Amino acid sequence: MAFVIVQHLDPTQPGMLPELLQRATPMPVIQVTETVTIRPDSIYVIPPGHDLSLLHRSLYLLEPHAPRGLRLPIDFFFRSLADDLQEKSIGVILSGMGSDGTIGLRAIKEKGGLALV
């Protein structure tokens, strides 16, 4: 299993999460900077100011489609995860900011995947 972390980030500030996570795990922690094929036992982190999608088990870094205040990066990723992995998809919300993630979790459940909050 691979882990992908999508969080709300200020696009003007560098993210510290990859460095923090790497201190706590022996798994490689990769901040996505280009298209990458996911590998088991790895952690992938979205960088600030981007959206992330999954297609054919590869992560794609995208410029945001919505203006800064209206972005829903978790829903965006979860919907692509559900479409790509169907019943093998798992979405976990650890804490929330508004309702981002609810539509994506619904998509995961509709495809037979597991949704945890």
pLDDT tens, 56-77? 999 999 988 766 667 789 999 9
Q: What is the pTM of this model?
A: 0.90
What mean pLDDT comes out for the span 31-60? 95
Of 2, 70, 3, residue with least CA distance to 40: 2
Name beta bridge partners: 91.
115
Q: Which domains does the chain have, with CATH numbers?
A: 3-116 (3.40.50.180)
Whole-angstrom CA distances from 82 to 12, 54, 88, 96, 105 are 30, 9, 8, 20, 8
Task: Give the DSSP letter string of the chain.
Answer: --EEE-----TTS---HHHHHHHH-SS-EEE--S-EE--TT-EEEPPTT-EEEEETTEEEEE--SS-GGG--HHHHHHHHHHHHHGGG-EEE-SS-STTTTHHHHHHHHHTT-EEE-
Question: Phi and psi of 31, rounded to 5°?
Answer: -85, 120
Range 88-113 average pLDDT: 90
Q: Residue 16's pLDDT is what?
A: 87
DSSP 8-state symbol, 68: G
Q: Is-contact 109 81, C-beta < 8 A? A: no
Least confident of 7-16, 29-38, 76-85: 7-16
